[in-house]
Chains A and B, each alone.
Chain A
């Protein structure tokens, strides 16, 4: 008995060889690939089995179980079951022309050298467009891609966290008061729906040097306020706006500040709305429990409120960054259609439109694909980060 047991034990104790993690990964990968091929093979075999004589007879036998229908009736029934296609047809046709075709066309046409959209003429295939766009060697006096990329990234990654932080502060403050909360709410939500071009023009009047009357410079509101502290008027949005030069890149910091202030202002209402409603929906029991435990206000904020609204914060950062990568109309509203002087405030989207208007469609396609790739990379990182963060719920 004893011996027998031991024998079983030795049999069971011969497990598959333990591999280290690295090797195991490739073994699993191999197994997965193998099973994928096996599945496909079975599916194909089954499919062709339907055409063999045995298969056809089997099918006939199966059909025989139900009521026998005439061929016409069967076709009519099938047509009726597929009538959903009729409903999606308008959307499908429009999307085929205005969505699916452009996606394919941009991949194909970006590889055509010296491509002109209107005539359809091009000289040969290659990655010439991409190289020229990245080098800034387009030879048409349009915007520079690197400048646009740096502008877009800097503006987005400064203004989005800034406005989220400010929105967080305001909604915490809004959440802690009781009287006239509704009135504050209304005022904060007012800039929610605004026309970027219209409001950009208003912001430009705050910052610009308006003109000269009686040989004295008249300046906008911001310069007047700065004047109280002895700061000389700065040309925030105009032609003589100050900037730093780094190689071929120029960093027009004054225009950056104007843009960031505008974007924080225009992004606030949506962010306050989301954060404030998230805070309102936190169960009051948590706060009562914290009060009983004698937690300080600060502890409550960081240990209860912040974790509970973490999903909303990461959502706001994601949508904010996505929107920021595509900013354009605010820049036009503030600095006009040339996007500052020599396109020094150009953005990625502005780059595309600039080259469409110059008739250099190939560069526009290459630029749009680069924008697409950058957005994909950001989406990828966002997904990684948000997946980790949203597990508080």
Chain B
């Protein structure tokens, strides 16, 4: 069976590598267990031996050579085992990304082969054209990819920027200013962090729907502007700035606002960058609220990706309104190869962002344990 799989296409070295790695892992573990058994047996029959000391042979019993050799073998075996284990885990954890990317370039015929290929025969870039120029299948709406992308970017940028302003001024007030009831208010805000956010959604849905704000950007932005956790994070950052800096700034004739803009914000820039990135990622991944409150033309990119993408004749492709890739062979079925292309569109920006801004993202997340 595996032979058939290996011979099926030229690009199947990937399978070969995986199979070899797994076999190597099995061999290494057998080897290791035999080794461990032997070591255990040796340690159980100590009579005249303690480790490398042969007591019966007196002082000459220490076999340094043998000990060194054993140590080296043990080290090599351990390393083989560790590397094989890590490689298997790494391959498995990368496999979904690899599969997603290659599947997005396959034709649907190739995707449905009874023996899957691990590298596309022919790169079909038209998959991407198809999803860009297609209205969502079956819904009859006019939400194209451009519309959805504009929605996501506008909402993402606005909510990130406005949210950041609110977070900064609130954190500043809690960190630097004194007013009556400050501590009580802060405790109250922190207490809401214990309540699951899902509890709010129902009432917010009713509030917003009654106010007639559905199908707008406002409704996507407003309810999530305040984030207590980020206020808390930034306040702690602000409080770490020594008070002497404030007095020095006062002596130099800087106003409170000037101090905030020229001293505090530059000093806490790393935290602010993490907050910005995490908020944007949060908007990019938001799914439930837009689905609940808005119709398709006002939804976000994650809603778009859950749609079925078909090889429809209504596709507004650059090659004409009636253009299809498979001559209508799949009718109105949702095609997985197209879906994978959409998945790539949503996932790749996140991957790139993580690769390039890993430090900032991790700084923000490692304390909260939530993503976005």
Q: CB within 8 Å of B: which residues of A? A: 81-85, 87-88, 90-92, 94-95, 97-103, 105-106, 109, 117-118, 166, 169-170, 173-174, 176-177, 184, 186-199, 201-203, 205-206, 210-211, 213, 216-219, 221, 224, 227-228, 265, 268-270, 273-274, 297, 315, 319, 322-323, 325-326, 328-329, 332-333, 337, 349, 352-353, 356-357, 361, 364-365, 368-369, 371-372, 375-376, 379
Mark the stretch among B24-32, B129-137, B247-255, B343-351 that contacts chain A.
Answer: B343-351
Is the Cβ of B226 less than 8 Å from the Cβ of A375?
no
B371 interfacial by beta-carbon distance below 8 Å: yes
**Complex Cα gap A109–B2 (Å):** 60
Q: Is the CB of A201 within 8 A of B166?
A: no
Q: Do the beta carbons of B281 and A193 come within 8 Å of each other?
A: yes
Q: Which of A105, A174, A195, A216 contacts B305 (CB 8 A)?
A: A195
Q: Which residues of B contact A364 (CB under 8 A)?
A: 202
Closest to A374 in B: B196
The interface-forming segment of B88-96, B236-244, B263-271, B315-323 is B88-96
Residue from A91, A274, A371 whose CB has the most chain B CB atoms within 10 Å: A91
Tell me whether A195 and B350 are in contact (CB under 8 A).
yes
CA A219 – CA B116 in complex, angstroms? 9
Q: A101-B207, A190-B354, A227-B1 are in contact. List 10 more A-B contacts (CB 8 A).
A: A88-B169, A98-B204, A103-B200, A192-B361, A193-B351, A195-B284, A199-B100, A206-B96, A352-B198, A372-B199
Q: Hey, which chain B residues are within 8 Å of A81, CB to CB? A: 178-179
B349-372 Cβ-contact flags toward A at 8 Å (1 or 0)? 011011100100110011001110
Contacts of A174 in B (CB 8 A): 86
- Distance between Cα atoms of A376 and B173 in the complex (Å): 30
- The verdict on B99 contacting chain A, using a C-beta distance below 8 Å, is yes
Q: Count chain B CB atoms within 10 A of each CB in A95, A166, A227, A364 and give the residue with the most.
A: A95
- Point out the residue from A83, A203, A361 that lies within 8 Å of B202, measured CB to CB: A361
Alpha-carbon distance between A94 and B353 when the two chains are bound, in angstroms:
30
Interface hub of A81, A97, A217, A376 (most chain B Cβ within 10 A): A97
| A191 B199 Cβ-Cβ under 8 A | no
Q: Chain B: which residue is nearest A329 at the CB level? A: B287
CB of B82 within 8 Å of the partner chain: yes
Residue in B1, B89, B194, B369 whose CB lies within 8 Å of A188:
B89
Out of B90, B173, B340, B361, name the residue touching A193 (CB < 8 Å).
Answer: B361
Let me know if B85 and A173 touch, CB within 8 A. yes
Cβ–Cβ contact B86 & A190, under 8 A: no
Task: List chain A residues, Cβ under 8 A from B202.
Answer: 102, 106, 117, 352, 356, 361, 364-365, 368
Known: A177-B82, A198-B305. A188 touches B90 (CB 8 A): yes
Contact of A368 among B199, B207, B284, B362 (CB under 8 A): B199
Question: Whole-angstrom distance from the CB of B234 to the nearest CB of chain A?
Answer: 12
Q: B165-181 interface mask toward A, CB cutoff 8 Å, 1 = contact, 0 = none?
A: 01101101110011110
A192→B365 CA distance, assembly (Å): 10
Task: Give chain B's interface secondary structure class.
Answer: helix
The answer to whether A270 touches B343, judged by C-beta atoms less than 8 angstroms apart, is no
B47 to chain A, nearest CB (A): 20
CB-based closest 7 A-B pairs: A102-B203, A319-B369, A87-B173, A84-B179, A84-B177, A117-B206, A102-B200
Please, which residues of chain B bring their CB within 8 A of the CB of A176?
Answer: 78, 82
* Distance to closest chain A CB from B291 (angstroms): 8
B171 → chain A closest CB, angstroms: 9
Knowing A90-B166, A95-B226, A319-B369 are in contact, say whether A187-B94 is a contact too (CB < 8 A).
Answer: yes
User: Closest A-chain residue to B179, C-beta based?
Assistant: A84
A83 touches B179 (CB 8 A): yes
For A318, the closest partner residue in chain B by CB is B369
The contact of A198 among B103, B112, B302, by CB within 8 Å, is B302
Residues of A within 8 A of B2 (CB): 228
Distance from B52 Cβ to chain A, minimum over Cβ atoms (Å):
12
Contact indicator B346/A198 (Cβ below 8 Å): yes
CA A177 – CA B194 in complex, angstroms?
40
Q: Is the CB of A94 within 8 A of B166?
A: yes
- Taking a contact as CB atoms under 8 Å apart, the answer to whether A98 and B361 are in contact is no
Kindly state the separation between the CA atoms of A109 and B172 in the bound complex, as whole angstroms. Answer: 36
Contacting pair B285 A221 (CB below 8 A) = no
Check if B93 sits within 8 Å of A191, measured CB to CB.
Answer: yes
Assess whether B94 is in contact with A196, with CB atoms less than 8 Å apart.
no
The interface residues of chain B lying within 8 Å CB-to-CB of A98 are 200, 204, 207, 222-223, 226
User: Once bound together, how far apart are the Cα atoms of A268 and B95, in whole Å?
Assistant: 14
Contact indicator A177/B192 (Cβ below 8 Å): no
| Cross-chain contact B302 with A221 (CB below 8 angstroms) | no
Nearest-CB residue, chain B, relative to A169: B85
10 cross-chain CB contacts under 8 A:
A97-B207, A117-B202, A170-B86, A193-B354, A196-B285, A206-B99, A218-B113, A221-B116, A352-B201, A371-B199
Bound complex: CA of A365 vs CA of B355, how far in Å?
41
**Closest beta carbon of chain B to A198's beta carbon, Å:** 4
Complex CA gap A95/B340 in Å reads 39
Known contacts A99-B200, A368-B199; is-contact A173 B82 (Cβ 8 Å):
yes
In the complex, which residues of chain A have a beta carbon less than 8 angstroms from the beta carbon of B93?
187-188, 190-191, 265, 268-269
The closest CB in chain B to the CB of A220 belongs to B116
Question: Does B292 count as interface, using CB distance less than 8 angstroms?
Answer: yes
- Cβ of B97 under 8 Å from chain A: yes
CB proximity of B199 to chain A, nearest CB, Å = 5
B166 nearest CB across to chain A (Å): 5
B370, A337: Cβ atoms closer than 8 Å: no
Known: A91-B166, A173-B82. A191 touches B97 (CB 8 A): yes
Which residues on B sit within 8 Å (CB–CB) of A375? 196
Residues of A within 8 A of B231 (CB): 91
Closest to A178 in B: B79
A-chain residues with CB within 8 Å of residue B365 when the two chains form the complex? 270
Does A184 lie within 8 Å of B199, measured CB to CB?
A: no
CA distance A322 to B196 in the complex (A): 9
Interface residue B336 (Cβ < 8 Å from any Cβ of A):
yes
Instruction: Given A193-B361, A352-B198, verify A88-B305 contact (CB < 8 Å).
Output: no
A371 touches B198 (CB 8 A): yes
Q: Is the CB of A177 within 8 A of B113?
A: no
**A213 x B281 contact (CB < 8 A):** no
By the criterion CB–CB under 8 Å, are B354 and A192 in contact?
Answer: yes
A361 to B204, CA, bound (A): 12
**A residues in contact with B336, CB < 8 Å:** 205, 210
